[in-house]
């Protein structure tokens, strides 16, 4: 049985709220991209109007591929949005798996940020800093105790 302190740490509440906001934004973006994927084939069928529109798009990607890409990315965003909302629930309910997922995601975000900086995106420094702060915070003793991850002190026996 998991024993947790009565009150949730403020930082966990903040991380949970930000996770909910991110999940909602991802769901909205995913639904929008999926809707765009449904509309793109109709645009392609309007040859005269679309040729004028297509000439303004400096791209060598056919419109049919844009529809597939939009649907694929939209589907992934919807799945990630749903997972984010589930993780937020776990944060609020002090579930051990929510702590583990947040630690793993923070480490992955730091690694992605480092690769992004190496490829020239200096703006990833902020992402690394935020993920580092979250990772540090999740390892604080009172936060680990809230999630039931506190280290048990060993009692010496004579």
Each residue of 81-136: pLDDT tens digit?
Answer: 999 999 999 999 999 999 999 999 999 999 999 999 999 889 899 999 999 999 99
Cβ 77 vs Cβ 27: under 8 Å: yes
Establish if 53 belongs to a structural domain. yes
- 3-state secondary structure string across 41-110: HHHHHCHHHHHHHHCCCCCCCCHHHHHHHHHHHHHHHHHHHHHHHHHHHHHHCCCHHHHHHHHHHHHHHH
Find the domain containing 99 and state its range: 94-150
The model's pTM: 0.75
In this predicted structure, the answer to whether residue 60 has a pLDDT above a threshold of 70 is: no
Establish if 156 belongs to a structural domain. no
In this predicted structure, the answer to whether residue 78 has a pLDDT above a threshold of 80 is: yes
Establish if 120 belongs to a structural domain. yes
Each residue of 68-77: pLDDT tens digit?
Answer: 888 899 999 9
Place of tokens 């604080």: 140
Encoded tokens for 31: 């639904």
Number of domains in the chain: 2
């Amino acid at each position: 049985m998991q024993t947790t302190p009565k009150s949730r740490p403020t930082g966990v509440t903040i991380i949970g709220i930000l996770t909910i906001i991110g999940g909602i934004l991802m769901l909205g973006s995913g639904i929008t991209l999926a809707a765009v994927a449904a509309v793109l084939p109709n645009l392609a069928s309007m040859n005269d109007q679309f040729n004028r529109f297509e000439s303004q798009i400096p791209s060598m990607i056919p419109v049919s591929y844009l529809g597939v890409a939009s649907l694929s990315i939209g589907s992934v965003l919807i799945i990630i949005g749903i997972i984010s909302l589930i993780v937020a629930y776990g944060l609020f309910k002090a579930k051990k798996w929510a702590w583990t997922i947040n630690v793993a995601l923070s480490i992955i975000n730091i690694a992605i940020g480092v690769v992004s900086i190496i490829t020239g995106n200096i703006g990833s420094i902020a992402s690394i800093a935020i993920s580092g702060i979250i990772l540090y915070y999740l390892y604080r003793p009172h936060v680990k105790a809230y999630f039931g991850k506190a280290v048990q002190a060993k009692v010496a026996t004579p």
